[in-house]
Amino acid sequence: MPLHLSTLNLVAAPVSLQEGLKILERDDYKCRYCGLDGRATFDNALMMSVDFVVPRARKGKKDPANLVACCRPCNMIKGTKVYKSFDEARAFVLAQRQGLRKKWEEKTSTTRAKSAAN
């Protein structure tokens, strides 16, 4: 492990550091939604968190079966909605990311086109 994560507050408070690290280890420090590799860079490491597949707010259990490694952006996109399964949650998050990417690409290409015209 290139970065000792236990020295940083990377894990959401509801899960203890030890519990969180177990989940991150199990999932190889990769976001289970988008695949972001938490070991690739320091910045990526800072993004890693642990997600409750069924949110705590919806009585999701603090059970390894309900916990996945997750980057903060995916965690935010997923929100507290309840999904039928992890796969459904993942499909939702990836579709949202795709939509955001499209908007971002349109916006940045407009900006680029404008600056090219000047």
Interface with Zn ion (CB under 5 A):
31, 33-34, 36, 71, 74
CB of residue 73 vs Zn ion: minimum separation in angstroms?
6
User: In Å, how far are 29, 31, 95 from 74, measured between CA atoms?
Assistant: 14, 8, 11
CB of residue 44 vs Zn ion: minimum separation in angstroms?
10
Pairing of strands 48-52, 67-71: antiparallel
CB of residue 58 vs Zn ion: minimum separation in angstroms?
20
Here the tokens at position 43 are: 């910045």
d(C-alpha 72, C-alpha 18), whole Å: 19
Which of residues 12 and 34 has its CB atom nearest to Zn ion in the complex? Answer: 34
Which of residues 15 and 36 has its CB atom nearest to Zn ion in the complex? Answer: 36
d(C-alpha 16, C-alpha 113), whole Å: 49
Which of residues 78 and 113 has its CB atom nearest to Zn ion in the complex? Answer: 78
CB of residue 88 vs Zn ion: minimum separation in angstroms?
16
Which of residues 98 and 110 has its CB atom nearest to Zn ion in the complex? Answer: 98
